[in-house]
Copies of this chain bind each other. A is one copy, B any other.
Amino acid sequence: MKFDLSQTEENYLKAIYSLFVVSNKAVSTNKIAEKLATKASSVTDMVKKLSEKELVNYVKYQGVSLTENGREIAIHVIRKHRLWEVFLVRHLGFQWDEVHEVAEQLEHVKSVKLTNSLDAFLDFPRYDPHGDPIPDKEGNFAKRDVAVLSSLKIGQESKIVGIKDSSSEFLKYLDKVEIKLGAAIKVLHKESFDNSMMLWIDKKQISISQQIASNLYVKQQD
Protein backbone atom coordinates (compact mmCIF):
# COMPACT_ATOMS: atom_id res chain seq x y z
CA MET A 1 0.00 0.00 0.00
CA LYS A 2 2.91 2.38 0.64
CA PHE A 3 5.00 2.40 -2.50
CA ASP A 4 7.82 4.71 -3.25
CA LEU A 5 6.89 6.06 -6.61
CA SER A 6 9.12 7.86 -9.05
CA GLN A 7 8.39 11.45 -9.99
CA THR A 8 7.31 10.20 -13.37
CA GLU A 9 4.81 7.78 -11.90
CA GLU A 10 3.43 10.51 -9.68
CA ASN A 11 3.05 12.82 -12.63
CA TYR A 12 1.12 10.17 -14.54
CA LEU A 13 -1.24 9.63 -11.61
CA LYS A 14 -1.83 13.35 -11.31
CA ALA A 15 -2.50 13.67 -15.03
CA ILE A 16 -4.93 10.76 -15.00
CA TYR A 17 -6.66 12.22 -11.96
CA SER A 18 -7.17 15.65 -13.46
CA LEU A 19 -8.33 14.29 -16.81
CA PHE A 20 -10.75 11.98 -15.08
CA VAL A 21 -12.20 14.81 -13.01
CA VAL A 22 -13.24 16.78 -16.08
CA SER A 23 -14.71 13.96 -18.17
CA ASN A 24 -15.74 11.58 -15.40
CA LYS A 25 -14.93 8.57 -17.52
CA ALA A 26 -11.93 6.40 -18.33
CA VAL A 27 -9.09 8.50 -19.68
CA SER A 28 -7.62 7.82 -23.10
CA THR A 29 -4.00 7.09 -23.84
CA ASN A 30 -3.83 10.01 -26.23
CA LYS A 31 -5.18 12.50 -23.72
CA ILE A 32 -2.58 11.47 -21.17
CA ALA A 33 0.15 11.70 -23.77
CA GLU A 34 -0.95 15.20 -24.69
CA LYS A 35 -1.15 16.35 -21.08
CA LEU A 36 2.32 15.05 -20.27
CA ALA A 37 3.85 16.05 -23.59
CA THR A 38 4.92 12.54 -24.38
CA LYS A 39 3.94 9.83 -26.86
CA ALA A 40 0.99 7.46 -26.71
CA SER A 41 3.29 4.45 -26.80
CA SER A 42 5.11 5.68 -23.72
CA VAL A 43 1.78 6.10 -21.97
CA THR A 44 0.76 2.54 -22.76
CA ASP A 45 4.00 1.27 -21.22
CA MET A 46 3.61 3.32 -18.06
CA VAL A 47 -0.05 2.55 -17.66
CA LYS A 48 0.75 -1.16 -17.74
CA LYS A 49 3.27 -0.63 -14.98
CA LEU A 50 0.86 1.36 -12.85
CA SER A 51 -1.74 -1.30 -13.44
CA GLU A 52 0.61 -3.98 -12.09
CA LYS A 53 1.01 -1.86 -8.98
CA GLU A 54 -2.77 -1.63 -8.76
CA LEU A 55 -2.77 2.13 -8.97
CA VAL A 56 -4.87 2.28 -12.12
CA ASN A 57 -7.58 0.18 -13.73
CA TYR A 58 -6.58 -0.54 -17.25
CA VAL A 59 -8.17 -2.63 -19.97
CA LYS A 60 -6.53 -2.56 -23.35
CA TYR A 61 -8.15 -0.10 -25.72
CA GLN A 62 -10.56 1.00 -23.03
CA GLY A 63 -8.77 3.78 -21.21
CA VAL A 64 -7.52 4.25 -17.70
CA SER A 65 -8.96 5.18 -14.35
CA LEU A 66 -7.42 5.42 -10.90
CA THR A 67 -7.90 2.78 -8.22
CA GLU A 68 -8.59 3.96 -4.69
CA ASN A 69 -4.85 3.74 -3.95
CA GLY A 70 -3.97 5.62 -7.09
CA ARG A 71 -6.48 8.33 -6.28
CA GLU A 72 -5.11 8.77 -2.78
CA ILE A 73 -1.59 9.20 -4.07
CA ALA A 74 -2.67 11.62 -6.79
CA ILE A 75 -4.55 13.75 -4.28
CA HIS A 76 -1.60 13.74 -1.93
CA VAL A 77 0.69 15.01 -4.68
CA ILE A 78 -1.85 17.70 -5.56
CA ARG A 79 -2.01 18.66 -1.89
CA LYS A 80 1.74 19.18 -1.82
CA HIS A 81 1.71 21.09 -5.10
CA ARG A 82 -0.88 23.57 -3.87
CA LEU A 83 0.60 24.00 -0.41
CA TRP A 84 3.94 24.88 -1.95
CA GLU A 85 2.24 27.36 -4.26
CA VAL A 86 0.74 29.09 -1.26
CA PHE A 87 4.12 29.18 0.44
CA LEU A 88 5.85 30.64 -2.59
CA VAL A 89 3.30 33.43 -3.00
CA ARG A 90 2.75 34.25 0.64
CA HIS A 91 6.30 34.02 1.92
CA LEU A 92 8.76 34.12 -0.94
CA GLY A 93 7.28 36.90 -3.02
CA PHE A 94 6.42 34.83 -6.08
CA GLN A 95 3.71 36.05 -8.43
CA TRP A 96 0.86 33.62 -9.06
CA ASP A 97 2.08 33.02 -12.58
CA GLU A 98 5.55 32.00 -11.40
CA VAL A 99 4.74 29.25 -8.95
CA HIS A 100 3.60 26.37 -11.07
CA GLU A 101 6.93 25.21 -12.44
CA VAL A 102 8.60 25.25 -9.05
CA ALA A 103 5.66 23.54 -7.33
CA GLU A 104 5.88 20.90 -10.04
CA GLN A 105 9.25 19.96 -8.55
CA LEU A 106 8.49 20.50 -4.88
CA GLU A 107 5.40 18.30 -5.03
CA HIS A 108 7.65 15.25 -5.34
CA VAL A 109 9.60 15.75 -2.15
CA LYS A 110 8.81 12.85 0.14
CA SER A 111 8.30 13.60 3.80
CA VAL A 112 5.00 13.37 5.58
CA LYS A 113 6.33 15.60 8.31
CA LEU A 114 7.37 18.21 5.79
CA THR A 115 3.96 18.33 4.15
CA ASN A 116 2.00 18.51 7.36
CA SER A 117 4.32 21.03 9.00
CA LEU A 118 4.14 23.21 5.93
CA ASP A 119 0.35 22.98 6.07
CA ALA A 120 0.40 24.09 9.71
CA PHE A 121 2.96 26.82 9.02
CA LEU A 122 0.63 28.21 6.37
CA ASP A 123 -2.28 27.93 8.80
CA PHE A 124 -4.07 25.22 6.86
CA PRO A 125 -4.98 27.17 3.74
CA ARG A 126 -8.08 25.93 1.93
CA TYR A 127 -7.28 27.32 -1.51
CA ASP A 128 -4.15 27.82 -3.55
CA PRO A 129 -3.24 31.10 -5.31
CA HIS A 130 -5.34 30.10 -8.32
CA GLY A 131 -8.42 29.32 -6.28
CA ASP A 132 -7.96 25.55 -6.42
CA PRO A 133 -8.95 23.73 -3.23
CA ILE A 134 -6.22 22.13 -1.12
CA PRO A 135 -6.88 18.59 0.14
CA ASP A 136 -6.34 18.12 3.86
CA LYS A 137 -4.18 15.47 5.49
CA GLU A 138 -6.90 12.88 4.95
CA GLY A 139 -7.33 13.85 1.32
CA ASN A 140 -10.66 15.58 1.79
CA PHE A 141 -11.42 18.82 0.11
CA ALA A 142 -14.48 20.87 -0.65
CA LYS A 143 -16.03 20.13 -3.98
CA ARG A 144 -17.02 23.68 -4.68
CA ASP A 145 -20.05 24.54 -6.69
CA VAL A 146 -18.57 26.81 -9.27
CA ALA A 147 -19.83 28.09 -12.59
CA VAL A 148 -17.91 29.64 -15.45
CA LEU A 149 -18.29 33.38 -15.68
CA SER A 150 -19.46 33.08 -19.28
CA SER A 151 -22.58 31.27 -18.14
CA LEU A 152 -23.86 34.20 -16.08
CA LYS A 153 -26.85 36.16 -17.35
CA ILE A 154 -27.17 39.92 -17.56
CA GLY A 155 -27.76 41.47 -14.20
CA GLN A 156 -26.37 38.52 -12.21
CA GLU A 157 -23.85 39.23 -9.47
CA SER A 158 -21.18 36.88 -8.24
CA LYS A 159 -17.60 36.58 -7.08
CA ILE A 160 -14.54 35.29 -8.90
CA VAL A 161 -13.30 32.22 -7.05
CA GLY A 162 -11.01 30.36 -9.42
CA ILE A 163 -9.04 30.21 -12.62
CA LYS A 164 -9.57 27.37 -15.06
CA ASP A 165 -6.57 27.89 -17.31
CA SER A 166 -3.68 28.74 -15.00
CA SER A 167 -1.17 29.33 -17.76
CA SER A 168 1.34 32.06 -17.13
CA GLU A 169 0.05 34.09 -20.07
CA PHE A 170 -3.53 34.05 -18.86
CA LEU A 171 -2.53 34.91 -15.30
CA LYS A 172 -0.45 37.82 -16.53
CA TYR A 173 -3.39 39.05 -18.57
CA LEU A 174 -5.55 38.96 -15.45
CA ASP A 175 -2.94 40.96 -13.58
CA LYS A 176 -2.88 43.53 -16.34
CA VAL A 177 -6.62 44.09 -16.32
CA GLU A 178 -6.62 43.83 -12.54
CA ILE A 179 -8.93 40.87 -12.21
CA LYS A 180 -8.24 39.24 -8.86
CA LEU A 181 -9.58 36.24 -7.00
CA GLY A 182 -12.35 37.33 -4.66
CA ALA A 183 -13.41 40.23 -6.82
CA ALA A 184 -17.12 40.96 -6.82
CA ILE A 185 -18.62 41.15 -10.31
CA LYS A 186 -21.85 42.04 -11.98
CA VAL A 187 -22.77 41.31 -15.59
CA LEU A 188 -23.84 44.52 -17.29
CA HIS A 189 -24.17 43.45 -20.86
CA LYS A 190 -23.50 40.57 -23.24
CA GLU A 191 -22.79 41.06 -26.92
CA SER A 192 -24.80 38.46 -28.78
CA PHE A 193 -22.49 38.27 -31.83
CA ASP A 194 -19.26 37.39 -29.98
CA ASN A 195 -20.52 36.66 -26.48
CA SER A 196 -18.17 39.20 -25.01
CA MET A 197 -19.29 40.59 -21.66
CA MET A 198 -19.30 43.99 -20.10
CA LEU A 199 -19.00 43.81 -16.35
CA TRP A 200 -18.37 45.56 -13.11
CA ILE A 201 -15.36 44.14 -11.35
CA ASP A 202 -14.96 45.69 -7.95
CA LYS A 203 -15.17 49.38 -8.78
CA LYS A 204 -14.25 49.15 -12.44
CA GLN A 205 -16.12 48.54 -15.64
CA ILE A 206 -14.46 46.23 -18.10
CA SER A 207 -15.22 44.23 -21.21
CA ILE A 208 -13.91 40.71 -21.64
CA SER A 209 -14.11 38.21 -24.45
CA GLN A 210 -15.94 34.91 -24.26
CA GLN A 211 -12.61 33.13 -24.16
CA ILE A 212 -11.60 34.95 -21.04
CA ALA A 213 -15.01 34.60 -19.41
CA SER A 214 -15.02 30.86 -19.88
CA ASN A 215 -11.70 30.54 -18.08
CA LEU A 216 -12.89 32.19 -14.90
CA TYR A 217 -14.83 30.38 -12.22
CA VAL A 218 -17.44 32.28 -10.25
CA LYS A 219 -19.33 31.32 -7.15
CA GLN A 220 -22.34 29.24 -8.01
CA GLN A 221 -25.60 31.05 -7.32
CA ASP A 222 -28.13 29.20 -5.20
Using CB atoms and an 8 Å cutoff, list the residues of chain A in contact with chain B.
88, 91-94, 98, 101-102, 105-106, 108-111, 113-114, 117-118, 121
- Mind listing 22 A-B residue pairs with CB under 8 Å? A88-B114, A92-B113, A92-B114, A92-B117, A92-B118, A92-B121, A93-B117, A94-B113, A94-B117, A98-B113, A101-B111, A102-B109, A102-B111, A102-B113, A102-B114, A105-B108, A105-B109, A105-B110, A105-B111, A106-B106, A106-B109, A109-B109
Distance, CA A93 to CA B111, complexed state (A): 13
Distance, CA A110 to CA B102, complexed state (A): 7
Would you call the interface of chain A mostly helix, strand, loop, or mixed? helix
A115 to chain B, nearest CB (A): 10
Distance, CA A101 to CA B109, complexed state (A): 10
Given contacts A101-B111, A102-B114, 6 further A-B contacts (CB under 8 A): A92-B113, A92-B117, A93-B117, A102-B111, A102-B113, A109-B109
Beyond A101-B111, A109-B105, A109-B106, is A121–B88 a contact (Cβ under 8 Å)? Answer: no
A89 to chain B, nearest CB (A): 11
Distance, CA A109 to CA B105, complexed state (A): 6
Distance, CA A94 to CA B120, complexed state (A): 13
Distance, CA A118 to CA B94, complexed state (A): 11
Cβ contacts under 8 Å, A117 to chain B:
92-94
A110 to chain B, nearest CB (A): 7
Distance, CA A88 to CA B117, complexed state (A): 9
Distance, CA A101 to CA B101, complexed state (A): 23
Cβ contacts under 8 Å, A106 to chain B:
106, 109
Distance, CA A105 to CA B55, complexed state (A): 24
Distance, CA A152 to CA B118, complexed state (A): 42
A105, A113, A114: which has the most chain B beta carbons within 10 Å?
A: A114
Distance, CA A109 to CA B108, complexed state (A): 10
Cβ contacts under 8 Å, A102 to chain B:
109, 111, 113-114
Distance, CA A121 to CA B94, complexed state (A): 12
Report the 6 A-B pairs with minimum CB-CB distance, sorted nearest first.
A92-B117, A105-B109, A102-B111, A102-B114, A93-B117, A92-B121
